[in-house]
Structure 1
Amino acid sequence: MIYEARKGQVSYGEAIGILLLDTFAPFIPGDVGNATTYSFPVRFRKVEGFSVTRLFNKDRTVLDSLVEACQELVSEGVKAITGDCGYMALFQKELAERVEVPIFLSSLLQVPFISNMLSEDEKVGIICADSRILDSDLLEAAGVHASIPICVSGLENKENFYKAAIEEVGTLDAKQIEKEVVSAAKQMVENNPMVKAILLECSMLPPYAASVQEAINLPVFDYITMINYVYSSVVKKRFEGYM
């Protein structure tokens, strides 16, 4: 087989590009920002100056920087690009229009898919970083229209999570955050019995997905389920076996 170099590309084999906020937080295994989370190589790109505060304030002046970061990832060979905050859905449509590879910025993009798995009267539960930010405009940007039955619970009142993820104190107590996330999930299901699947919106929550599932015995989706799914579509494997 003859392989051909791509102009300007000096490394190969990283199919998924990941846009990172300019943050100060430890990304533990399972986090979108930790390379050991994946069974395949990924390529990270920090968007300088794109802070949690700017995103939560819906600062659209960062759009050109996002496009530039995406173009750099494309030039380095990635086949699809995601992000590390579900609220990046704010830029989903613009980047999809301006970047030549598939864009799937937000974990929230999974909500319509999950909802279609359920009956009409069942709901998708969304556990997010801050429910005060997750408004109808953000949901619409991710394709979560008003007709889709959802239940939203934010972690803005969970001390350990909020300090690590939003206040960016620089440390993270995984055991305490796990308790907070599991508690939020259990309370959601108890208060809303029609919630039949959970989406963990924040990119820092996948490490706790298994514990959430053990506690509520429901399907649990997160950023990593989405990234693995897209990877399986842009890097197909040949099947080998026997009959």
Structure 2
Amino acid sequence: MRVEGRKAIYGASVGILMLEARFPRIPGDMGHAGTWEFPVLYRVVRDASPDRVVRKGAEGLLPEFIDAARGLERDGADGITTNCGFLALFQKELSEAVGIPVATSSLQQVGMVNALLPAGKRAGILTISGSTLTERHLAGAGVPEGTPIETTEGGESFTEAILGDALALDVAAAERDNVAAARRLLERHPEVGAIVLECTNMTPYARAIRRATGVPVFSVVGFVTWFQASLQPKRWALD
């Protein structure tokens, strides 16, 4: 066997651009390395706080994200994703800045999910910040106009703990916030046949949301797992 090199790091095909945060990341959160069934490469983008990215439109941060993406590519990533659905804003610019595939946001699943659903049903979005999720974000992810959206804003703790970068997280309260918001989404939009979780910190609560609503729940972990399977197809043993 002959092998050739060109990377600094091998065996981790997905590179993840991380916000700079200190709130607890529990299993299921894409920032918890134990979430993944495959190795990943992390790169923290300095000064990209949750508040600055989600509530302030990531203003002034595009150069830092491009530099970090290029660094992941140099280190050996075969594809790049991010740990914030609001970074759909940078999908076009990041894709143009590197020579590998880029999947910035869980919101990019919405169109695909719509194609899976029965007639009369469509996907709805659950977001951490409905007040700052704009048409620019949705357009960047290719989300169809008029897609139903519900938010965890105004709940017990989830939105404020994450966007406020709190040092403690009440996991039970966070789950209640997510479940309550999902139920509101279906009550207000009975045509919703599946939920796409915008926020990457929502994945730990996907199972509870599924149980409470009875509809399929699509998260960033499922999205990135699908993405990784294209970058590193499984090797099958042949009998």
Same fold (TM over 0.5): yes
- Is the 8 Å Cα contact of residues 50 and 165 (structure 2) preserved in structure 1? no
1:22-37 matched pairs, under 5 angstroms: 22-37=20-35
Q: Tell me the distance in 2 between the aligned counterparts of 1:188 and 1:160.
A: 19
TM-score with structure 2 setting the length:
0.95
Amino acid at match of 2:131: R
1:163 Cα offset (Å):
2.7
Aligned ranges 1:86-125 → 2 under 5 Å: 86-119=85-118, 121-125=120-124
Q: Judging changes above 3 Å, is the alpha-carbon distance between structure 1 residues 241 and 6 closer, same or farther for their aligned structure 2 residues?
A: closer
State the identity %: 35
Segments of 4+ moved more than 4 angstroms: none
Partner of 1:70: 69
- Give the TM-score of the pair, scaled to structure 1: 0.93
Give matches, 1:31-180, under 5 Å: 31-55=29-53, 56-119=55-118, 121-146=120-145, 149-180=146-177
Aligned counterpart, 1:191:
188
State the superposition RMSD in angstroms. 1.5
Give the 3-state SS of the residue equivalent to 1:43 in structure 2: strand
User: Per-residue displacement from partner, 1:199-239 (whole Å, max 9, x unpaired)?
Assistant: 11101000010111111111100110110000011111133
Partner deviation per Cα, 1:115-172 (whole Å, 9 max, x = no partner): 11124532211110000111111101111132xx521011111131023211112111
Q: 1:2 corresponds to which residue?
A: 2
Unaligned 5+ residue runs, structure 2? none
Please give the alpha-carbon distance, in whole angstroms, between the structure 2 residues aligned to 1:127 and 1:145: 15
How far, CA to CA, are the matches of 2:238 and 2:202 in structure 1? 36
Q: Aligned partners of 2:195 and 2:144: how far apart in 1?
A: 17
Structure 2 CA distance for aligned equivalents of residues 164 and 65 of structure 1: 25
Unaligned runs of 5+ in 1: none
Tell me the distance in 1 between the aligned counterparts of 2:157 and 2:52: 22
Cα deviation, 1:5-32, whole Å, max 9, x if unaligned, reads: 326x1x3211110001111211100001
Matched letter for residue 4 of structure 1: E
Counterpart of 2:149 in 1: which secondary structure? strand
Aligned residue identity for 1:218: V
Contact 2:157 2:174 in 1 (8 A): yes
Distance of 1:241 and 1:181 partners within structure 2:
44
* Matching residue's letter, 2:168: T
The answer (yes or no) to whether the contact 2:20–2:49 under 8 Å persists in 1 is yes
Change in CA separation of 1:120 and 1:133 when aligned onto 2, cut-off 3 Å? farther
Q: Distance in 2 between matches of 1:218 and 1:187?
A: 13
